[in-house]
Structure 1
Amino acid sequence: GVPPHMIGDVERSTSWGSGIEQQSLGYVIYSLMPWLTRMERTAQRLLGDPSLYMKFNPDALLRGDTTQRFTAYAQARQWGWMSVNDIRAKEDEPPIEGGDEYVVPL
């Protein structure tokens, strides 16, 4: 289930640009996520303690390009449903002082 471009087979590829991005997203959603979910459930059974768990975070693999992400973050910040630190967490950046404030739109 691995797209050809991910293993270096680009000989017959005609879908560069957004086609490659869509193939990569499809790989994460349809091929990788079922395995990650299985591994999380198996680990839960093996650990036995409900307070211990394993959780994969595929968000970095599902991110769009920089322009799309930053546009979405700007809207989320402007309309008050994400704080600066929420956005920084999505980008794997450390929180900043005062970054937990939410904008209240007029």
Structure 2
Amino acid sequence: MTTSKNDFAEYLGGYEQNSISMRLGHTVYVEQGKDIFIQDRKTGELEKVTLEEQVAKTWIRRNFEEERARQRRKAFARGMQSSHIPLHERRAYKKRMGWVGA
């Protein structure tokens, strides 16, 4: 499922398994933990992206951070929709506990 609006980056899945894979341009990148890998088209093997390449291509890390935030927001929204506690009660509780300002 593509969640971004541009054609350059396409989310391919894996947020639930803590291993995000994305297609950026014509290349498939996989992030596992803090490491980013390039997936070979023919064999499917993963090759680690060097630090020099990450510094030169800052858009790789930035796209992964944006997609991770987007997937986190989607998961939170799904969780709130399935909750039996109404929004106004949730907000009132947080205000009573002092977790949010008035």
- The TM-score bracket by the shorter chain reads 0.3 to 0.5
**Structure-1-length-normalised TM-score:** 0.33
**Structure with higher strand content:** 2
- Structure with the larger RCO, 1 or 2 (CA within 8 Å, 6+ apart): 1
**Structure-2-length-normalised TM-score:** 0.34
**Structure with higher helix content:** 1
